[in-house]
Chain A
Amino acid sequence: MQHVSPVREPLVTGGKTYHDITQDVCRQVEAKPNIRWMAALSVALILLGVFIYSVYRTLWYGIGEWGLNKTVGWAWDITNFVWWVGIGHAGTLISAVLLLFRQKWRSSINRAAEAMTIFAVICAAMFPVLHMGRPWLAYFVFPLQNTFGSLWPNFNSPLLWDVFAISTYFSVSLVFWYIGLIPDFATIRDRATGPIAKRAYALLSMNWTGSAKAWSRYETVSLILAGVATPLVLSVHTIVSMDFATSVEPGWHTTIFPPYFVAGAIFSGFAMVLTLMLVTRVVFKLEDYITLEHIALMNKIMMITGSIVGVAYITEFFIAWYSQVEYEQYAFLNRATGPYWWAYATMMSCNVISPQVVWFRKVRYSIPLTFALSIVVNIGMWFERFVIIVTSLHRDYLPSSWAMFSPSIIDIGIYVGTIGLFFTLFLLFAKFFPVINMAEVKTILKYGVDNGPTYTGVHTHAHVAEPATVHGVPASAPVNYNKHD
């Protein structure tokens, strides 16, 4: 029997003990890979093969393999880049922003969400690097001396800011993720039986013993990393949006872009987190940790950011009319009614209309509907970037240069291939790393559970020993002494 506080719902259900948490999370890591995982990995590896082939064609024959033309010089590559970077943002939002806001429910989803961030940024980075055409000269973007090739890079250029933003974002996220993994690697290390697992997890656990001083420093480091990662995540998509906003292109040259892109990034990121979590919780039997409450909360964030994006779309339209700039007005009319109207309609219905169903409680708590919605939002956000990039470029100032864009098979191959790359990395993570932050979930076990075992006083020695001698009782279960504080 569990007493539930009237104010808060418990964050972990099922009356778990600390040991149960370790068991439930380590089970997947310690078990032999099951057939479903193998099947999923095979599909991901086939898609990864498609990626490798498409990259080979791009590098061997050049960018001409893509569907770009003289007018539309940026299309699927940058669309995919922005889409993937945006997806990554939810991970940092969950791990850093929600940490600063003391949202304790984040604990059971932050590990997988951060992994998603890192893999999404890896996928995103593929596109600008491949678009260089000669990626072996990619070091030209770094401020290296003249003898390495170019002059100093142009620090006024948003594309160079992007280089710094994305590489900082990737490396800081990786470090943040790894710091969080260390105590959990130590748990796996101390349970490991195989000789390879013992040594591998010992190396990864960095001599971690769980001493009080180490925990104290660990918490300080986590808090400061969260503090610096919060403005960092906002800066990354701001700078990505400046790639467009600082250019004198109708439909791009707007000051609303930074907040609009950041909201869109969080929106699509939460959709991807939901897609992944809804599958992970069932496959790895983690329903007690990633509860319906978590899904409802993520749905709410998705609905709010989706509404912000909706307001941004409408504001853009209003400002285009209000600015009295003919080109700007045409760019927006062309988006909605021109040859790419279907992309615009998909974007509007997927991003603005569909998340509004979350107002209904039944939808928020429904797994199939949430899963469907998360996929719809991901599609919608891909189209948002496509609409911004291609419809602005394909008809700009000079009507004689107007053109249409259609992707080549290699374009499609690279895009589908990065999905394969993403899922390959995610499946390997899910098998070999703990998908839930065990140490953090143990700290929230008693949250919202009333009458938990709380010590009553120094003088009653007999009572003190009591919870210790009762074995097999969940730490969150009520114990027979009074709660004072």
Chain B
Amino acid sequence: MTKRFALGIFDDEDVLLHAIENIRTAGVKIHDVFTPFPVHGIDDALGIERSRLPIAAFFFGLCGTSFALWMQIYMLGFDWPMIIGGKPNISLPAFIPITFELTVLFCAFGMVITFFTITKMYPKLKVNVMDKRATDDKFVMAIELKDGETNLSNLSQLLRDNGASEVNEKEMTKN
């Protein structure tokens, strides 16, 4: 499916932020904004909700803690108890370092895998981008052009009024 977009190219992030606010106030729906670096305040301007990844991270960490404790207690306490240095089979203080390490390991990997999955990040031979300069020094605002609804020339004027240095049209095939 092919979609058409109007691309407003901005040169400065402060101009971009205010343009986002104005354009949203004008009732135009912004498809997405592509920036070369994380712009402070863009989440609020675009109305992006706070990510819930920290909650996922906490539960991945909890999985790591439980797995590590279960593993050590089961292996040394029940499956094959051995007397080591006359200490109890289940000597919890000695199990803490590994429990900590596995908590960190599960938390980090679980969260990164979740991040890749929800952001649809995977190795691809060819990546379709709106504008190649969005990873260099330009801030690209994409607004979807729907037939009969949005007019490119009106939109172009709105974008330029709000500080866009260029306005282009781009067709994207949904992958």
Question: Using a CB–CB distance below 8 Å, which chain A residues touch chain B?
Answer: 17-19, 22, 143, 146, 151-152, 154-156, 158, 160-161, 164-165, 168, 171-172, 175-176, 179, 182-183, 186-187, 189-191, 198-199, 202-221, 224-225, 228-229, 231-232, 235, 239, 242, 438-440, 442-443, 453-455, 458, 461, 464-465, 467-469, 475
B174 contacts A by Cβ under 8 Å = no
Q: Take A151-B82, A156-B91 as given contacts and tell me if A190 and B123 are in contact as well, using a CB distance cutoff of 8 Å.
A: no
Q: How far is it, in angstroms, between the C-alpha of A232 and the C-alpha of B123 when the chains are bound?
A: 29
Chain B contacts with A in 23-49, Cβ cutoff 8 A: 32-40, 42-43, 46, 48
Say whether B48 contacts A442, CB under 8 Å: no
Chain B residues closer than 8 Å to A225, beta-carbon distance? 108, 111-112
Q: Take A152-B75, A464-B15, A468-B11 as given contacts and tell me if A206 and B37 are in contact as well, using a CB distance cutoff of 8 Å.
A: no
Chain B residues closer than 8 Å to A186, beta-carbon distance? 127, 135
Say whether A207 contacts B71, CB under 8 Å: no
| Nearest CB of A to B63, in Å | 14
Say whether A468 contacts B15, CB under 8 Å: yes
Chain B residues closer than 8 Å to A438, beta-carbon distance? 36
Say whether A217 contacts B137, CB under 8 Å: no
Say whether A155 contacts B119, CB under 8 Å: no
Chain A residues closer than 8 Å to B51, beta-carbon distance? 216-217, 220
Choose one: B48, B57, B162; the contact of A464 (CB below 8 Å): B162
Choose one: A168, A204, A467; the contact of B15 (CB below 8 Å): A467
Chain B residues closer than 8 Å to A165, beta-carbon distance? 97, 101
Chain A residues closer than 8 Å to B17, beta-carbon distance? 455
Say whether A453 contacts B15, CB under 8 Å: yes
Choose one: B48, B91, B95, B116; the contact of A206 (CB below 8 Å): B116
Say whether B129 contacts A209, CB under 8 Å: yes
Choose one: A22, A209, A224, A475; the contact of B130 (CB below 8 Å): A209
Q: How far is it, in angstroms, between the C-alpha of A381 and the C-alpha of B4 when the chains are bound?
A: 61
Chain A residues closer than 8 Å to B118, beta-carbon distance? 217
Q: Take A164-B102, A217-B118 as given contacts and tell me if A187 and B36 are in contact as well, using a CB distance cutoff of 8 Å.
A: yes
Q: How far is it, in angstroms, between the C-alpha of A175 and the C-alpha of B42 when the chains are bound?
A: 26
Say whether B43 contacts A209, CB under 8 Å: no
Q: Tell me the nearest residue of chain B to A204, going by C-beta.
A: B123
Q: Tell me the nearest residue of chain B to A19, going by C-beta.
A: B137
Say whether A172 contacts B84, CB under 8 Å: no
Q: Tell me the nearest residue of chain B to A165, going by C-beta.
A: B101
Say whether A212 contacts B32, CB under 8 Å: yes
Q: Take A209-B129, A220-B51, A461-B161 as given contacts and tell me if A214 and B119 are in contact as well, using a CB distance cutoff of 8 Å.
A: yes
Chain B residues closer than 8 Å to A231, beta-carbon distance? 100, 104
Say whether A468 contacts B115, CB under 8 Å: no
Q: How far is it, in angstroms, between the C-alpha of A239 and the C-alpha of B105 when the chains are bound?
A: 16
Say whether A155 contacts B129, CB under 8 Å: no
Q: How far is it, in angstroms, between the C-alpha of A19 and the C-alpha of B11 when the chains are bound?
A: 10
User: What are 14 A-to-B residue pairs whose CB atoms are below 8 Å?
Assistant: A146-B80, A156-B85, A156-B91, A158-B97, A161-B98, A199-B125, A207-B120, A207-B123, A207-B127, A215-B39, A220-B51, A453-B15, A455-B14, A467-B11
Question: Using a CB–CB distance below 8 Å, which chain B residues touch chain A?
Answer: 10-12, 14-15, 17-19, 21-22, 32-40, 42-43, 46, 48, 51, 53-54, 57, 61, 71-72, 75-76, 79-80, 82, 84-85, 87, 91, 94-95, 97-98, 100-102, 104-105, 107-109, 111-112, 115-116, 118-127, 129-130, 132-137, 160-165
Q: Tell me the nearest residue of chain B to A458, going by C-beta.
A: B22
| Nearest CB of B to A201, in Å | 9
Q: Tell me the nearest residue of chain A to B142, going by C-beta.
A: A211
Choose one: B36, B40, B84, B107; the contact of A156 (CB below 8 Å): B84
Chain B residues closer than 8 Å to A17, beta-carbon distance? 137
Q: How far is it, in angstroms, between the C-alpha of A231 and the C-alpha of B132 when the chains are bound?
A: 39
Q: Take A206-B123, A209-B130 as given contacts and tell me if A443 and B137 are in contact as well, using a CB distance cutoff of 8 Å.
A: no
> Beyond A225-B108, A468-B11: 19 further Cβ-contacts under 8 Å?
A143-B71, A151-B82, A152-B75, A154-B76, A155-B75, A156-B85, A164-B97, A202-B123, A208-B135, A214-B121, A215-B38, A216-B42, A217-B119, A221-B111, A224-B57, A229-B108, A453-B15, A464-B19, A467-B11
Say whether A228 contacts B75, CB under 8 Å: no
Say whether A454 contacts B14, CB under 8 Å: yes
Q: How far is it, in angstroms, between the C-alpha of A186 and the C-alpha of B54 when the chains are bound?
A: 25
Q: Tell me the nearest residue of chain A to B119, going by C-beta.
A: A214
| Nearest CB of A to B89, in Å | 10
Say whether B122 contacts A465, CB under 8 Å: no
Say whether B165 contacts A469, CB under 8 Å: yes
Q: Take A224-B111, A228-B108 as given contacts and tell me if A219 and B34 are in contact as well, using a CB distance cutoff of 8 Å.
A: no
Choose one: A143, A151, A189, A455; the contact of B18 (CB below 8 Å): A455
Q: Tell me the nearest residue of chain B to A212, going by C-beta.
A: B33
Say whether A190 contacts B125, CB under 8 Å: no
| Nearest CB of A to B137, in Å | 4
Say whether A203 contacts B72, CB under 8 Å: no
Q: How far is it, in angstroms, between the C-alpha of A145 and the C-alpha of B88 when the chains are bound?
A: 22
Q: 9 closest pairs, A vs B, by CB?
A: A18-B137, A468-B165, A152-B75, A161-B97, A190-B132, A19-B137, A464-B163, A156-B94, A206-B121
